[in-house]
Chains A and B, each alone.
Chain A
Amino acid sequence: DSGVTQTPKHLITATGQRVTLRCSPRSGDLSVYWYQQSLDQGLQFLIQYYNGEERAKGNILERFSAQQFPDLHSELNLSSLELGDSALYFCASSVTLVAGGSEQFFGPGTRLTVL
């Protein structure tokens, strides 16, 4: 158990709908990352928040948005869903290492199926 929690575990919805995925980071971690992992793709970085502020943006579609709240939990909103959005969505939080850099701890993921 990494200490990062994600809800829901599974989500089945229809095309055109909107869903919200939720992530609670490990206690004390200020950074939250969101990733998408499709069957035929590796992990794709979507977006990072640090202490409530957006820090880095990756391959995130305009239909997707995220935010980090004052209590540091984060939500990823996916709208106008398409079949191709079906994937595992992971959240990770990170701690700064003494030697520099940071280590990410991943949550168990939310499996989204768009029908």
Chain B
Amino acid sequence: KNQVEQSPQSLIILEGKNCTLQCNYTVSPFSNLRWYKQDTGRGPVSLTIMTFSENTKSNGRYTATLDADTKQSSLHITASQLSDSASYICVVRAGGSYIPTFGRGTSLIVHP
């Protein structure tokens, strides 16, 4: 069964600090992996998308990594800002499938 597990479930950090969110998946065969940011009560917004051949992708202060061998991805946020407070969702798509598998997200709170 295709599954995506994210950790930690929630995280509180101080403004200006860095943090790393984890995503482990069992989706096979692997097609691509996305990280989304979802503000409370709003739709998710794509941060990065990575295919099998990519192991790092950056979007401003967000850097995603992918290790397809261990089926792990991480999202690193640098110099956090209050506006980074949101849920971060890892989504993996299997090759040949139109149905994505969503993780349950990591809730990040950035305190001043």
Contacts and interface: CB of A to CB of B under 8 A. Distances in A.
Given A101-B93, A106-B45, A45 B105 contact: no
Interface string A85-111: 000101010000101110111111101
Interface residues of A, number: 26
A5 to B, nearest CB: 11
Contacts, number: 51
Contact of A56 (B98, B102, B105): B98
B112 interface: no
Contacts of B93: 101
Interface stretch (B36-44, B66-74, B78-86): B36-44
Contacts of A105: 46
B24 interface: no
Given A101-B93, A103-B49, A106-B43, A41 B104 contact: yes
A2 interface: yes
B102 A90 contact: no
Interface of A: 2, 4, 41-45, 48, 55-56, 58, 88, 90, 92, 97, 99-101, 103-109, 111
Given A2-B43, A42-B104, A103-B49, 13 more contacts: A41-B104, A42-B105, A43-B102, A45-B99, A45-B100, A48-B98, A55-B98, A100-B51, A106-B44, A107-B43, A108-B43, A109-B42, A109-B43
